[in-house]
Structure 1
Amino acid sequence: MSTRRTVATVALALIAPFALSACGTSFRAQTNQQYQASVGSDLRTGPVQVFNGLLVDNGDGTATFSGGLLANEAQTIETVSIDGAAKKLPRPISVKPQQLLTLGAEGEIVVKLVEVTAGDYVTISFAATPGGDSSLEVPIVARDSMYDSVAKRPKPGATATPQEDETDPAMPETNDDQEDTSPPAG
């Protein structure tokens, strides 16, 4: 083997790990960035947590809140504020402990907007009892086919209900009518 070829091989062996280890990384690499796949905003602290919270513009100076609420202990929300302007809800919203409550389809929270449009952000605060306020900035989105299921007006007699609990996949389903054919413990 020639000296030139040996030097090139050694240089390549020394440089290759550095060159290959830097593939796809930088100071802004995606692994270092928080990622939120939803359009709405999330609040994961406080008495009431909010998931994918947003306001859907109704095109008439009002907007409907859409998102999920979760709490560690029972909370009741009777008032919401948009950028500091409070609004008493027509019916209180009860958030049960550890049950995701999805809002929007029944128009539980419809608020007036002043000089804001789709693309803007506003601060929404939920006054929860006994926990206190939970506030976050949420986007206002234009009403399109994606938000067809979000009500423009509160539906008469509508009350927010938590999502149905699914069967625990860790627990096998039992059928008491079947005979136990397992071998005896012994």
Structure 2
Amino acid sequence: MGSAEEKEGIIPRFCNEMMECVSSDEKRLKVRTDPKNGPYVEGLSKYVVTTVSDIRSWLCVGNRSRVTASTGMNKSSSRSHSVLLFNVTKTTTEELHGEHHHSIICSRINLVDLAGFEKSATAKTTGLRLREATHFNTSILTLRRVISALSQQSRSLKIKKSVIPYRDSALTW
């Protein structure tokens, strides 16, 4: 995300770029599976945005609910991952043989801002902060295993495919 004191992060910059192209309380969320549409996060709200300002407003709302805390390494350490989902729809109309035809182009973009991997001894975390670090460290390690398995599978010429541990963490699922 970056901060007001530092350079903007990749997510705000991506939102700016995406909109330019198109225009030319804390709770744990549950990941569910729909037989037709695949994995989704239960209880998410969907909002229509048409400007960068709209996106920035919603990013502010999301950042206010994001958990941060002071640790021995960072005065404002992120204690949670953040996922930003975009379903981009662009409708165009073209005339063909005197008739107007509408076409729709749809894209889905998922951006993830991960909490940093944290060593409890260096960060001097205990109690709740240690439990938080354990949760996000576990999900980051699972992500590492998923990426490693995908990498090995792509390099392997064997017919047998290995099992990718996507479902071992809500983050990777």
Give yes or no for TM over 0.5.
Answer: no
Q: Which has the higher contact order (CA 8 A, sep 6+)?
A: 1
Task: Say which structure is richer in strand.
Answer: 1
User: What TM-score, normalized by structure 1, do the two folds share?
Assistant: 0.21
User: What TM-score, normalized by structure 2, do the two folds share?
Assistant: 0.22
Task: Say which structure is richer in helix.
Answer: 2
Larger Rg computed on CA atoms: 1
